[in-house]
Chains A and B, each alone.
Chain A
């Protein structure tokens, strides 16, 4: 019988009560007394020199409080980049200044040129229209290949070129990889594009800056996945506000998908302007602004080559990738195409030699950074597409080719610097085969043919590195911060608990799952546990939520803090029962002495900690609150196998997804319902990338896909009912919960199987189509068939 409490229970989400009844408290719901509104005047050209910027007429418009330009930010730091990549020659990446308001030049459509603070938003907008702005256009840098050619216009005049870095990984392996390719019995080559995406969380970004003059304290309410990181970056590197004078609050956040990790100009602006104007300043992004100011995702152009021996064993892999950085380095941008991508190129396979080259390129486009999966979808897509192509070239079963090359012994040290602690790739593939009914595929294909449709089946595996990240390791790789997590567990005198976690929930359901863990540990009901997150004044420290790290890292910190609490309560219980601490057992919310009928309830021990009339005062302090920092010793490595069946209409090229099966290994699962929800959502985004979503710039650097008229998001009727399974689980060996993380898997694992399926469908009709770049729109599929 399934559990209804504790770890493993499919409890409904307690936060949904407020979300579903309109009681959520999102940043835009925060309205402070006397707040002013800011409207940003943004560049509508991609690259140009600001020849004239006259705000005098606008400043005289009704309701205008103040107009800010770059001149107001002289002496203020720019937006910092949190990760420094070292290139293959040992040189640091080129790192341009990233101003809050464009200074001298504009470098992408959407860049802030001026900010109008006014009594009302319409007044701010009207005044912005009265700003006289003249931008002399410069040649736009849009295409990555052209950007690297000699003589290309430069996005940043003070850099030597548009190349951010030329990264080789592992550079020492390059020679051996070349040699292996020379000896290969077969080499499969594939050129592909990982399409640029726009995250589109349901809630657009919002920032409200506030300032209290008498105490010189600044507060920022913002739609962030990591309020402490924003406090650190903005306080220390941008505005120079000490952390004890700066509070950052990220209340309910309606989806992030990575794009709300980063520190944005608008956040720094509202905090700065609130102090400058001595009143609260609010900005709510319009959807149009979101398209041209939220960091974009993906945008890689890759050539991948796989070498196989005469027995179809993978012998070597090499890739050449151009990765778009956009106009500036967003907070974690340099890490995405490198350490979050190159280290995953081994996939589920024991390929002994791998060389990854990545050239990161500046262009006159919106900055590109992490988006659900961040580097790992790009790695998975290349690898699983080239394996599929190799299977077709060699005439072997794509599943058999994968199985033949699976890593089967753990721990496994890959040639790309990571060590998989555990996994069972045959196990997840077996689970997939059970679910997906491959045996019935030919019959289903005939049914489709009878309707005039082509049916295709695509399969892929994936592995990801989650639970980001071991601090000393990422420090060596260029991260400018540690990536531990912290938690404070406070037990009240009557036994209820409050967990203050540095993880941030923006849809993940922490308020439900974290109490399940505590409830399991102590043996109490989940209703006795409250989760506090998202406020730097309430939570001591936190690195936030991204990289599927909440439970694996933040949850582990909470477990460590709860263990300290349990150890202390056992001491108190031993004192109360006049027993040895070693004999105390905690079960079902009561302490007992082993081998006796002596027992004291959880609540009584907690009360004793705060009313220490009978208390071991000479041994331990009163009170019951513990903090723990948890730094993982390794990444976690969720993995899985996915299968997609599509129908293609040969008349129109329209692809419909008929069946989708996902077998995942997430290690231990705390709440299977939430895990399945994460997989469903991830697949929806992966299918969105594969079939629908594509960010388009024209040759002038104008963003053409800047509304839902032109940027197609997946809708319910684009998606089938999924079959999902996470029963083939190998618990993580190095965190206390044995969990691996599930937030990004669906988005990482699904695009290749969709494309593999479409290629399969077209080839079944005798079409010589080996690849189509995403998104597989009807026009592209139809064109490929002609």
Chain B
């Protein structure tokens, strides 16, 4: 199964790059992720609970990063074992490009499944993988840059939005961007 696409993220390239290497961001963004530990150098260990069609399983797996060319491109590869449910493995080539309005993230994903996942889920695996990718990048966008803005308002000026219930200005930037912006770093 192969899948390609791109997404425009409202953040600069360094911010996006740093987010890609952050275990906490990945944990937030990988659908069904229960645990994510590790570092870009040593790889990440993950536990993901997912339901593919009739097969629900806890996948334990490892993700390694390679071919790292900061802040331009990297390759993610991983394998998750779901016990009786079978396995999923795959890789993604990710490329970042500056673009008007932020950073464009290009991805080429190749994935394969085995065991019960293939036996029972093959018909739905493509749709499932697409959904997973969409969810991942939507969460990634949110984590890095805040919720996707409406079409017309996708400009810098829209960043400061209405006040929230407590009267504080509602920060539309994602938590990761706030975290990495030195002027807002919290103690």
| A residues apposed to B, CB below 8 Å | 44-45, 109, 125, 128-129, 288, 291-292, 698, 700, 702-704, 706-707, 709-710
Contact = CB atoms under 8 A, between A and B. Distances in A.
Contact of A109 (B112, B114, B120, B123): B114
Nearest to A46: B114
A26 B86 CA distance: 31
Contact of A702 (B83, B84, B118, B123): B118
Interface in B63-97: 83-84, 86-87
Nearest to B83: A129
B112 A44 contact: no
6 contacts: A44-B115, A44-B116, A288-B119, A292-B119, A702-B113, A706-B118
A707 B123 CA distance: 11
A702 B120 contact: no
A44 B87 contact: yes
B119 A698 contact: no
Interface centre among B86, B112, B119 (most CB of A within 10 A): B119
B114 A700 contact: yes
Contact of A703 (B83, B118, B123): B118
A45 B84 CA distance: 12
B116 A288 contact: yes
Chain B interface helix/strand/loop/mixed: helix
A44 B120 contact: no
A702 B116 CA distance: 9
B84 A703 contact: no
A681 B112 CA distance: 38
B122 interface: yes
Contacts of B113: 702
The 4 nearest A-B residue pairs measured at CB: A44-B115, A706-B119, A702-B118, A704-B122
Contact of B112 (A125, A129, A700, A710): A700
Given A44-B86, A44-B87, A125-B84, A698 B120 contact: no
Given A44-B86, A44-B87, A710 B123 contact: yes
A26 B180 CA distance: 68
B120 A707 contact: yes
B137 to A, nearest CB: 26
Nearest to B112: A700
Contact of B119 (A125, A128, A707): A707
A706 B120 contact: yes
Contacts, number: 48
Contact of B114 (A45, A128, A709, A710): A45
Given A45-B87, A129-B83, 16 more contacts: A44-B86, A44-B87, A44-B114, A44-B118, A45-B115, A109-B114, A125-B84, A128-B84, A288-B119, A291-B119, A703-B118, A704-B122, A706-B118, A707-B119, A709-B120, A710-B122
Contacts of B118: 44, 109, 698, 702-704, 706
A288 B114 contact: no
B116 A698 contact: no
Interface string B36-59: 000000000000000000000000
B127 to A, nearest CB: 14
Nearest to A134: B81
Contacts of A703: 118-119
Contacts of A704: 118-119, 122-123
Interface centre among A128, A288, A702, A710 (most CB of B within 10 A): A702
Nearest to A701: B114
A540 B138 CA distance: 71
Interface centre among B87, B116, B122 (most CB of A within 10 A): B122
Interface centre among B86, B113, B118, B123 (most CB of A within 10 A): B118
A109 B119 CA distance: 10
Nearest to B1: A698
A327 to B, nearest CB: 16
A129 B114 CA distance: 16
A45 B89 CA distance: 12
Contact of A129 (B84, B87, B120, B123): B84
A703 B117 CA distance: 10
Contacts of B123: 704, 709-710
Contacts of A707: 119-120
Interface centre among A44, A45, A129, A707 (most CB of B within 10 A): A44
A288 B83 contact: no
A703 B86 CA distance: 12
A125 B83 CA distance: 10
A757 B84 CA distance: 44
B122 A702 contact: yes
Contacts of A292: 119
A702 to B, nearest CB: 4
Contacts of B87: 44-45
B78 to A, nearest CB: 15
Contacts of B116: 44, 288
A702 B114 CA distance: 6
A700 B87 CA distance: 13
B87 to A, nearest CB: 6
Contacts of A702: 112-115, 118-119, 122
B90 to A, nearest CB: 12
A442 to B, nearest CB: 41
A481 B115 CA distance: 37
A288 B118 CA distance: 12
B55 to A, nearest CB: 10
A702 B117 CA distance: 10
Contacts of A288: 116, 119-120
A700 B125 CA distance: 15
A58 to B, nearest CB: 12
A698 B122 contact: yes
Given A288-B120, A704-B122, A709-B123, A109 B84 contact: no
Contacts of B115: 44-45, 109, 702
B121 to A, nearest CB: 9
A704 B126 CA distance: 13
Contacts of A44: 86-87, 114-116, 118
Nearest to B85: A44
Interface centre among B86, B112, B116 (most CB of A within 10 A): B116
A119 B112 CA distance: 36
A775 to B, nearest CB: 16
A707 B113 CA distance: 16
A45 B120 CA distance: 15
Interface centre among B114, B116, B120 (most CB of A within 10 A): B114
A333 B155 CA distance: 69
A125 B122 CA distance: 24
B53 to A, nearest CB: 8
A401 B45 CA distance: 69
Contacts of B84: 125, 128-129
A44 B112 CA distance: 12
B107 to A, nearest CB: 22
Interface in B99-140: 112-116, 118-120, 122-123
A709 B52 CA distance: 14
A513 to B, nearest CB: 39
Contacts of A700: 112, 114
Contacts of A706: 118-120
A702 B119 CA distance: 7
A7 to B, nearest CB: 47
A661 B48 CA distance: 56
Contacts of A698: 118, 122
